[in-house]
Amino acid sequence: MGRWEPDARDRLVRAALDLFDEQGYENTAVAQIAERAGLTKSTYFRHFRDKREVLFGGQDELVELLVAGIAGTPESAGPLAAVEGALVAIAVTFTEERRANGPRRLAVIAANDELRERDAMKMAGFSSVMQEALRRRGVPELDAAVAVELGVVALRVAYGRWLEAGGDFAEVARRALDEVRIVAAALEGAE
Amino acid sequence: MGRWEPDARDRLVRAALDLFDEQGYENTAVAQIAERAGLTKSTYFRHFRDKREVLFGGQDELVELLVAGIAGTPESAGPLAAVEGALVAIAVTFTEERRANGPRRLAVIAANDELRERDAMKMAGFSSVMQEALRRRGVPELDAAVAVELGVVALRVAYGRWLEAGGDFAEVARRALDEVRIVAAALEGAE
DNA sequence: TCAAGTGATGGGACTTGGTCTCATCAACCG
DNA sequence: CGGTTGATGAGACCAAGTCCCATCACTTGA
């Protein structure tokens, strides 16, 4: 494993975030990101499949944790409990460093359509993986879909609150999902 | 309003769908679509903002209908009822012609990441517009999010069934949403 | 110590998506 | 019949993304 300057990937991520922040995503060329990281365009595309992906690293790890979180919940528990297990399982990835860069990253994504597309796609990917994991436990398709979508709503809420206030993400996520449960139950009564 | 061969936009849509079907989305160049439609690349990009968009026309109309459907539901009704109003409102766009091309279009989209991204983005757009419409009626943010996501699950289910069996989309959507309601209520009991 | 092998990088040609500008041409209007 | 308008054609141009091959740092084995 030959190595020159290590952490090429990290350097690319940092350079990209800085440049996007300074001059906007659209005004930044991939060659420029690579240059600031002391690399070339070729090397950039060896680390990331396209210009957007530099902002969405670590997704594979999240997917694995979500699935493991569902698989690790006792079979006797309902689908919503399994989804809660998934949300708690990804808490290990919500580090302080991630929280520090979170707002900047969110601002960059929100400002650009291409990036919002990729974001929506990632979220849809999470949904789809969790639904499959639930179906493998014998949960009917519609039940799985509803449980997962409620979980995704809770995830969004929890992420926002965690970025603002910090704390243990697992705890924040559990509380958010409880609120979603209550709201979902009340919706029925309101009809 | 000068006109030569009319329906340039429709011709582009048909040419694109045919070509994507025949040789795949990635193996088709925009110039080729334009050529088959008897036009040029320049004209293509005057009708669609990018290569993907040719498969996602009519979204603005859907958004308007969704919002109108929510606004047209009595204030006394709960958020889920308003979402049902939105689903019923878009039924007018589910024509026989759309049903004929639906499976082919779905197959093309499913086979390509870029297109699935655009699809996820469109869906997220629908969610966001409906949530805003609900919040304008005074529905709390979390309630709006939950109601809308349940509605989107119902919409997906209904679309699949309508493609298979046809019939009145409004009716199919209402039934799907009822099932989602039941499932959501049962999820609570299962914990 | 040195030669071969390996993995990451550099470099440049090439295709295509997408933008921009200017010329053209058909219809409409007075 | 001349001017205007709106849609189109033509082509230059830039950046994203792919491919192929050369190169260099480091490792391994004799």
Taking only the tens place, the pLDDT of each residue in B107-164 is 999 999 999 999 999 999 999 999 999 999 999 999 999 999 999 999 999 999 999 9
Residues of A in contact with B190 (CB under 8 A): 78-80
Question: Which of A121, A146, A157 is nearest residue B180 as measured by Cβ atoms?
Answer: A146
Q: In this complex, do B142 and A120 lie within 8 Å of one another by their Cβ atoms?
A: no
- Mean pLDDT for chain B overall: 94
Within chain B, residue ranges assigned H as helices are 8-23, 30-36, 41-47, 59-71, 79-89, 96-110, 113-136, 141-165, 169-190
Q: What was the pLDDT predicted at B18?
A: 96
- Contact (CB, 8 A) for A73 and A38: no
Decide if B117 and A121 are in contact by the 8 Å CB cutoff: yes
Whether nucleic acid strand C comes within 7 Å of the CB of B56, the answer is no
Q: Check whether residue B112 has its CB closer than 7 Å to nucleic acid strand C.
A: no
Evaluate if residue B36 carries a pLDDT over 60.
Answer: yes
The tens digit of pLDDT for each residue in A142-185 reads: 999 999 999 999 999 999 999 999 999 999 999 999 999 999 99
| pLDDT (average), residues A7-24 | 95
Mean pLDDT of chain A: 94
Q: Is the CB of A182 under 7 A from strand D?
A: no
pLDDT at A1: 40
List C-alpha distances in Å: A14 to A22, A41, A57, A159, A163: 12, 16, 12, 22, 19
- B23: amino acid identity, one letter: Q
Nucleotide nearest to B40 (CA to C1'): D9
Q: How many CB pairs under 8 A join A and B?
A: 104
pLDDT score, position A188: 67
How far is CA B108 from each of CA A6, B11, B123, rounded to the nearest angstrom?
A: 41, 18, 17
Q: What is the pLDDT of residue A187?
A: 86
Q: Cβ contacts of residue B74 below 8 Å, gap of 6+?
A: none
Residue B3 is predicted with a pLDDT of 45
| Domains identified in chain B and CATH numbers | 8-53 (1.10.10.60), 56-190 (1.10.357.10)
Contact list, A186 vs chain B (CB under 8 Å): 143
According to the model, what pLDDT value does residue B191 have? 47
CA-nearest residue of chain B to A81? B191
Query: What's the average model confidence in pLDDT over B156-181?
Result: 97
| pLDDT score at B5 | 57
Nucleotide nearest to A44 (CA to C1'): C9
* Distance, CA of B27 to C1' of C12, in Å: 24
CA distances from B160 to B118, B123, B136 (A): 19, 15, 30
Protein residue nearest nucleotide C9, by CA to C1': A43
B49 touches strand C (CB under 7 A): yes
Minimum-distance residue to D11 (CA–C1'): B42
Sign, CA dihedral B94-B97-B98-B104, equals: positive
Q: Is A111:A25 a contact under the CB 8 Å cutoff?
A: yes
Question: A60-69 — which CB contacts under 8 Å span 24+ positions?
Answer: A61/A93, A62/A90, A62/A93, A62/A126, A63/A125, A63/A126, A63/A129, A65/A89, A65/A90, A65/A92, A65/A93, A66/A90, A66/A126, A66/A129, A66/A130, A66/A133, A67/A129, A67/A130, A67/A133
Over residues A89-119, the pLDDT tens digits come to 999 999 999 999 999 999 999 999 999 999 9
Q: Tell me: pLDDT of A191 over 60.
A: no
In this predicted structure, the answer to whether residue B2 has a pLDDT above a threshold of 70 is no
Nucleotide nearest to A7 (CA to C1'): C8
Q: Which nucleotides of D are covered by protein (CB under 7 A)?
A: 5-11, 15-20, 24-27
The predicted-structure confidence for A35-84, as pLDDT tens digits, reads as follows 999 999 999 999 999 999 999 988 889 999 999 999 999 999 999 999 99
pLDDT in tens, B54-112: 999 888 899 999 999 999 999 999 999 999 999 999 999 999 989 999 999 999 999 99
